[in-house]
Chain A
Amino acid sequence: MSDHSKSSPLATYFAVWGALLVGTFLTYEAALLDLGRYNAAVALIIATTKALLVVLFFMHLKGASEKLLKLVVASTIFFLILLLALSMFDYGTRSFS
């Protein structure tokens, strides 16, 4: 945890809050458009952007002095992708429908 008391982080907090609300509105509106196969991609990109904003600014990962924290987050994402990707390779290449 870094020391944030030097400069006021309030402006950042409110900006992130606004961006998260805008993202929620965007994802809701995007779902009403027919983008074909890209609907899911757009929804996931917006969700991931929102999640990144929360992790970096609200959970203070950006500016965390402890490098170990970043390692934990990176390995979490790695193992989650491993779980999802390998499962999808398995089910996606089976012959039954």
Chain B
Amino acid sequence: MSDSPATVVHGEAHAGHNPALLHHFATEEQQRDSASFGMWIFLATEVMFFGGLFCAYLIYRRWYFGDFGAASKSINAALGATNTAVLICSSLTVVLAIWAAQTSRRALMIVMLILTMLFGVAFLGIKGIEYKDKFDEHHVPGPSFSFSNVPIPGHPNQYANPQHAQIFFALYFVMTGLHALHMVIGLGIFAWLLWMAWKGRFTPEYHTPLEIGGLYWHFVDIVWIYLFPLLYLIDRHP
């Protein structure tokens, strides 16, 4: 059977197609669509994963309205805003890296991937400064937690309940911490993408890993777009 027509046709097809095309896909386009479809499904599960935390936040925000406002005011909103801008810039460098791959600009693609990683590291560094402030102020939930005599915004004579404020900080650390973990994983993915780009694996025809990694990075950006106003910007007005 080795000289059957089917084998010959397969051999010819194999010689003609891009080596990146796996044999169980008919075309490169089908392979690319399948990969991105799988990624979108994964992102759907991620939305539900973070959604549970957002749901917990909403419920407690309604119950402990003033306490959440007082606790939120103690976080450095300028650092949060800076981090939002940093992540938005990193999302731009991701799309520019993909554009560079589509237009055969290898050097630009590598520069954009490095910039993306630098923005990611900057984000985590700023996050670290923010966390250090919270540790210094004893705002980390646990035995040393302290949040006494902090007035509730709009009610200067009322003090926030430390137990309720502690729930805000628990949500703050879990949500931003989980987001930061996603950033660390994203940096790992982009280090691998940079390595692949360096080896010249990405061409205008085949750069699916870049697109899939980009989808993940943008999703992490979107989570932050919601975390920023919900955690940092409650009752900021004087």
Q: Which residues of A contact B (CB under 8 A)?
A: 1, 4-5, 9-10, 13-14, 16-17, 20-21, 24, 27-28, 31-35, 39-40, 43-44, 46-47, 50-51, 54-55, 58-59, 65-66, 68-69, 72-73, 75-76, 79-80, 83-84, 87-88, 91-92, 97
Contacts and interface: CB of A to CB of B under 8 A. Distances in A.
B233 A28 contact: yes
Given A9-B99, A24-B84, A31 B233 contact: yes
Interface stretch (B11-19, B40-48, B114-122, B164-172): B40-48
B78 to A, nearest CB: 9
Given A1-B36, A65-B33, A76-B47, 5 more contacts: A24-B81, A46-B229, A73-B44, A83-B55, A84-B51
Contact of B103 (A5, A21, A31, A39): A5
B92 A14 contact: yes
Interface of B: 29, 32-33, 36-37, 40-41, 43-44, 47-48, 51-52, 54-55, 58-59, 62-63, 77, 81, 84-85, 88-89, 91-92, 94-96, 99, 102-103, 204, 211, 214-215, 218-219, 221-222, 225-226, 228-230, 233-238
Contact of A54 (B47, B218, B233): B218
A17 B40 CA distance: 22
A65 B235 CA distance: 43
B62 A76 contact: no
Nearest to B103: A5
Given A69-B36, A87-B58, A4 B102 contact: yes
B126 to A, nearest CB: 14
Contact of A44 (B52, B88, B229): B229
Question: Which 8 residue pairs spanning A and B have beta carbons closest together?
Answer: A31-B233, A43-B229, A31-B236, A76-B44, A34-B237, A17-B92, A20-B88, A72-B40
Contacts of B94: 58
Contacts of A55: 218, 222
A32 B225 contact: no
Contacts of A84: 51, 54-55, 58
B74 to A, nearest CB: 15
A84 B58 CA distance: 8
